[in-house]
Structure 1
């Protein structure tokens, strides 16, 4: 139990450090950056990269040096776009981190009355840290590969593949956890309103 409390202490401190209004503002701003990065960054830049015949997704899924080298040669005419996409990816990671942490903080404040229910947003925040860390590492391995195409260590390919697989495993739990937390808030709100109306009768 003490270990669990230690793990959750940083996320509890983050949630308590700001008011609900500030968390809501941070969530709104980060959501705009999050969506804007996708719509005005990822989409056009990815289309430019795909004129090479490959995407960065193909690079991340490549498992052999020959596959990676083929993709890197194809990327040469659009190398600036590949670099820009890596920069945008880190912006996306930061915006997503703030967005998820702010939403989980709001959920945590709403569910603070129940020690079990409040575990949902706490676990969600830990998952967010893990997924964003894995996403950052995956992006780093890609950068190290394409920035040194002639002599990058082959081990980076395995690291890139493993990090990507781990990231998607965490994300598969992270997003539903946030959704569950939001649903619990609405259920608590609904039941409290229902109880208050019954008490007034």
Structure 2
């Protein structure tokens, strides 16, 4: 696939339409294998609040949340190891980050109708010098990003199916979230919804 020049938004690099439809469909097929091995969960925050997204993971570690806190674990709550990160997703990581280092986790978030994600920082990892790569599949989502402090001004943009976003450098610890999705705006997933993949180095 041709390389698209990224656009910068608050220190992040955004590749709109990086993945064409066949590439998106291939990734969805790969993710069905991941979900078959590690079923989607309905997470609950340590404070007992249910999150509106469902999630799973692939890789050496997976991120989970429950009454004990936010953390990475080597196994799905079922007790089975997380499945490997599909090669096509790893290839995108290496291509867009330029890193040889393999990510430890590919977090898979599924946004159904009405799902959103409040402003937060990705700070459960041990080394913030590595970026976080986000890949969007399915319905459009209104992404909002600010600065390292929760009250910093924010900027919003619509992420569409096939987009990639890299949060590194000063943007690595920026507060960000998904305010809403346009349910049914994409035909990639037959039942609608959005899949967001975030690849992270944890150690």
TM-score of the aligned structures, taking structure 2 as reference length: 0.28
The structure having more radius of gyration, on CA atoms, is 1
TM-score (norm 1): 0.28
Q: Which has the higher strand share?
A: 2
